[in-house]
A and B are shown apart, each in its own frame.
Chain A
């Protein structure tokens, strides 16, 4: 699914795209082209094909009458009907690479080889195309030529296609200069830089600060003052565990006078199981995680949750990032994990490759197969390396040094991998069996039951046979078993039938064991280059391998394995220029709101350039030195003075650097969708912290939405938001409203939009209303509190601070007036009407706090 790149791929199979069938373009084919041209010349040179007017040749000069015929009949026709797409006039690449505006153009031909075989209309693709004989190749696409026009072109070709137009074909620029390309910052590895000199030596706390401060000083700027403790803990808590600090946690931090109080808070947060839930969710964005397939046939990924839980576990365990990458790409090729409780994790991890959206009703099975391979290549490239490799499915990358050859070298690896059990619509993805002890026991029982039945059958048969033989055999000898059985008594036969039926019934009901989405190696083979991305037009073979520009010490692919394991090893090599820089940049983005490279999913030429190139290199090397420990990287980032700055505004700095790319202050950030919902639940004391498991009420592979629009999913659960089902094509509304990314596409850079429906959600949704009500109920449940004390509590819980005196009295006034005014309209009549009005008023106040900027934005 090459989202966000050149999507020419999908025009290939419509009529316009079918133009592609005509022509050759693209560098990789140059050799083939020259060969075709050569063969053509050779062929025509020795074949007398000029039935109408011998004497010309495609290489030679047309005769006078041929020229007349061409100018009068042929050229106007080509100009009127073909040039729009098949001429080089506007400098654009002709459709399908085929030029019909010069003799050399059609001689050179297109994707499918030469367009014209002079002298032989029947063998000429052009004639086939204009006769609409092939639905994939019907030209011109917007209407068939008249019979008369078809006649002209047929006659012309029969003549030998005399063509006086002797313009040269524009040479196709293709060669990627690998050495030159490696000079681009992200395509070559960089050593760990020294820390730069800074003037204010008191400021830096971790290496990060030297790079940030040196740059600020260069621009004559000073960092913002440190954030106060309340702001800092609220920020760190949301950043690491996705939840606000409780009033107790805040109090503990405020009262901790030890010099490393803040570092202790970071350790506490990193050790919390909530940490893996928050950071696992970041990764799930990148992994385009979803509990349904989406696209055309939206069926349930009933076992995707296992992958989600694996991701959460990995983050909590500080599983080294390199191992995490290798497992997702090739966990099935590794020996199983030694830890009993996680023994299937390496199989589960490969779910990464199957989680993407798949066109499961694609009727063209080979196309479906290549579409899935494409989605895998694109997601792998984007998630781990920040590359948009999907572009090269149809042509060499327009901007980055990746060729179609590089693409199909990778495609060979994925094509040698089994991701699908069946391509028959509706296609089924592959799942590994991961039986539990209970599954194994039930399976063993089932097998024993079958064996016992079989034994009974055999015994019954044997005894009947013995009995039969005992009666003596006639001269025809002992009949075959089948014949023999017919001679048994009715009673025996009935008994045998019953036993056999029972056996058949058992065999038809195999014990269902747990399964998980994933891949295994399939038939290992290299892939051919698909011309213009079409599986119907195959070019040369591309041996399995890795993009040439990304140089890593030689890693050889085994002949008998797909090469996924080697791909993963190549990617996680310390020499790989992208993998580690992409990950540290992602982490920076998730802590600071903007990446050092502000396009975390694109490190190519069209992506951003690093604002601090040395810093990203330093972080990457640091990351590698730590054994790719993600938790260690959190400490490096969060213990820095840079992270601990306040978000205080500075006129001068804002003038110099309005986007804050130099990091002269902390960015203000809005809560992410999950953080918002989780916080609403937490402040209402309604959050269930149970971890993991499946919350999708729909059977694996069953339709989420097929022909109906009925939504069977239930989101009304107090669990953390990351555990709620993620349904492609219909993401849970509150999440979609607050910029949950499209789960069909790998994305490490969520947007922050502000739209009116968000306000409607906070004002009118059942969720916002119920959470406000629960909060109000809790406040009122504690007896003997004054209103002022209740308001203090509310502010501490919701905003992690006490109210000012003004805020306190304003809130009191609000409640009072609400009880006397609006609550009268809202409350139902009854005995407890006064209580109900009180509750409604407090609920209204709580809801305002939960909708406020201070609740939803972190400073």
Chain B
């Protein structure tokens, strides 16, 4: 924070405010605009209850985000980007150059083993890997022209989550949390359910130089079944509620007496509050995770009754429950203890299994959000860190491909039932209306009412953005 302001009084009052609010998760979003205020050198600090919305750069179309992260890189040409020429020219060489650097060697063109059909009123094509999601295709905005740079999992995952593959930078969820804050004072603003610890690990939900309270709060990790996923230290099995209350009361007395000589100190006040908040969070978090009150129909729809879908199904259901309770950014990671969607070989078997695990839960999530009137204000994003090559690796595999791939969005102010952008005839390179990862970030922030150019944080003498020095809002897909 140092160096933001020259005016000392301003700094102090602002810092005091930040600290007080920092304790809570609902910090009321003034932090994001600290810098602008500072620039303007208007020392009018707005204290207290400023609602997040009033601090937006422009009216928001979405209030929150669910990011369904398909770890490993699902193949676009086998899911949402059909390529007739790829089928026709199966076994022939790619008629143009491969990128200068590739992750591995690939050979000849490999047609998709899955058939595509058109669905819904929009008639968008979806492969038979996603029959349930296909039924919701009229809600989707399929972007076929994503592109990144890094062909390795780690770099690509970091790029997707933080905008940077070679520097430690705040994650997109942390930026959103910093910009908007949580709507629930007892829950964190950014929750990530069963994230992978590989390929960037914590950095993919970390806050880097943003204040610590904006980082994602992980529930378990990818090697823990979602049923067992918990926030660390959220409960104490040995301590009774009344016992802990007695402890907190004594603690409050001791802390109040302490430092009476040291004068007002926001750190110490903040610490007092942090214990009370922790006490409340101990109840709010298990309540959010308790799905016992969900209907049998919901359990069935999300696939909780079936072995293949119950793990990811619960993650999706939890996502809805967190969203309902005012969490701003929920990431749901689909990853087993390996790199789930990474089919360098055995494409048919691997993708079939993976799609089966997520197809129903995702469709149920979209349906459920819509039925509850939440889809309009919730931006759902689906995708992996890259796509896969149309050329074969080995006999029945595909290599990493960051040059062109597909993600889709739904709800939250994006046009629905459309496809945007395109790859070349074989699906190797993004070609038309290209959307870079930075553009995806800029667009996501735009939908949330934040201008990616103005959502900045000053660190080490420079203003940082999620989109670094790039990024363009893809206005064509904004509803």
Contacts and interface: CB of A to CB of B under 8 A. Distances in A.
Interface of A: 1-11, 13-17, 132, 135-136, 141-144, 294-298, 357, 359, 361-364, 371, 388, 399, 425, 598-599, 601-602, 604-608, 647-651, 654, 658-659, 668, 670, 705-711, 728-731, 733, 736, 739, 742, 744-745, 751-761, 763-765, 769, 807, 810, 814, 817-818, 821-823, 825-826, 840, 844-845, 847-849, 851-854, 856-857, 859
B321 interface: no
Interface string B190-231: 000000111111110010110111000100011110000001
Given A4-B461, A602-B461, A826-B239, A756 B246 contact: no
A86 to B, nearest CB: 15
B427 to A, nearest CB: 15
B431 A132 contact: yes
Given A711-B197, A763-B275, A848-B254, 12 more contacts: A1-B166, A11-B468, A15-B434, A143-B432, A647-B261, A730-B197, A739-B212, A754-B270, A754-B274, A759-B275, A760-B278, A857-B268
Contacts of B337: 707-710
B19 A754 contact: yes
Contact of B198 (A708, A736, A821): A708
Contact of A659 (B11, B151, B232): B11
Interface stretch (B153-161, B307-315, B386-394): B153-161
Interface of B: 2-3, 8-9, 11-12, 19, 22-25, 97, 99-103, 145, 147-155, 157-158, 164-168, 196-203, 206, 208-209, 211-213, 217, 221-224, 231-236, 238-240, 242-244, 246-247, 250-251, 253-255, 258-259, 261-265, 267-268, 270-271, 274-275, 277-279, 281-282, 335, 337-339, 342, 403, 421, 429, 431-439, 459-462, 468-470, 472
B212 A363 contact: no
Nearest to B12: A658
B470 A14 contact: yes
B267 A760 contact: no
Contacts of B235: 764
A290 B68 CA distance: 31
Contacts of A807: 254
Contact of B432 (A144, A602, A711, A847): A144
A2 B164 CA distance: 12
Nearest to B196: A709
B431 A144 contact: yes
A648 B265 CA distance: 12
Contacts of A668: 259, 262, 265, 267-268
A607 B461 contact: yes
B286 to A, nearest CB: 12
Contacts of A711: 197
Contacts of A608: 2-3
B378 to A, nearest CB: 25
A425 B154 CA distance: 13
Given A143-B432, A756-B277, A826-B240, A710 B200 contact: no
B460 A388 contact: yes
B12 A659 contact: yes
A760 B281 contact: yes
B250 A848 contact: yes
Contacts of B103: 363
B243 A823 contact: yes
B25 to A, nearest CB: 7
Contacts of A604: 461
A130 to B, nearest CB: 13
Contacts of B439: 142
A711 B220 CA distance: 12
A177 B8 CA distance: 32
Given A295-B200, A654-B263, A765-B233, A14 B271 contact: no
A362 B151 CA distance: 8
Contacts of B267: 668, 670, 752, 754, 857
Contact of A853 (B165, B166, B199, B259): B259
Contacts of B165: 10, 296, 359
A10 to B, nearest CB: 5
A745 B462 CA distance: 16
A711 B222 CA distance: 11
Contacts of B22: 753-755
27 contacts: A1-B166, A1-B167, A4-B459, A10-B167, A14-B436, A14-B437, A15-B434, A295-B200, A296-B158, A298-B201, A359-B152, A363-B152, A605-B461, A608-B2, A668-B265, A705-B197, A707-B198, A733-B232, A742-B168, A756-B274, A758-B274, A759-B279, A760-B232, A764-B236, A765-B233, A826-B240, A844-B243
A658 B8 contact: yes
A295 B168 CA distance: 8
A136 B147 CA distance: 13
Contacts of A822: 239-240, 242-243, 246
A753 B260 CA distance: 21
Contact of B154 (A361, A755, A859): A361
- The B interface, classified by DSSP as helix, strand, loop or mixed, is loop
Contacts of A5: 460-462
Contacts of A670: 267
A745 to B, nearest CB: 6
A7 B8 contact: no
A467 B310 CA distance: 78
Contact of A814 (B8, B246, B277): B246
B469 A11 contact: yes
Nearest to A648: B261
Most chain B beta-carbon neighbours within 10 Å: one of A142, A357, A604, A745: A142
A852 B154 contact: no
Nearest to A390: B167
A439 B424 CA distance: 59
A710 B223 contact: yes
A854 B155 contact: no
Contacts of B461: 4-5, 388, 399, 599, 602, 604-607
Nearest to A653: B263
Most chain B beta-carbon neighbours within 10 Å: one of A132, A399, A598, A755: A755
Contacts of B460: 3-5, 388, 599, 601-602, 606
Contacts of A752: 267
A592 B439 CA distance: 44
Given A668-B259, A668-B267, A852-B251, A364 B101 contact: yes
A708 B199 CA distance: 10
B212 A853 contact: no
Contact of B274 (A10, A759, A764, A825): A759
Q: What 9 A-B pairs have minimum CB-CB distances, sorted nearest first? A: A296-B154, A649-B263, A606-B461, A4-B460, A729-B201, A822-B243, A759-B278, A709-B197, A361-B152
A265 B32 CA distance: 47
B278 A763 contact: yes
Contacts of B236: 763-764, 769
A762 B2 CA distance: 29
Contact of A142 (B155, B158, B433, B468): B433
A363 B470 contact: no
Contacts of B223: 708-710
B149 A14 contact: yes
A796 to B, nearest CB: 16
Contacts of B246: 814, 817-818, 821-822, 844
A2 B459 CA distance: 12
A141 B164 contact: no
Nearest to A391: B462
Contacts of B157: 296
A744 B168 contact: yes
Contact of B221 (A17, A136, A709, A739): A709
Given A648-B262, A754-B270, A756-B25, A708 B213 contact: no
A847 B247 contact: yes
B272 to A, nearest CB: 8
A754 B23 contact: yes
Contacts of A654: 263
A332 to B, nearest CB: 27
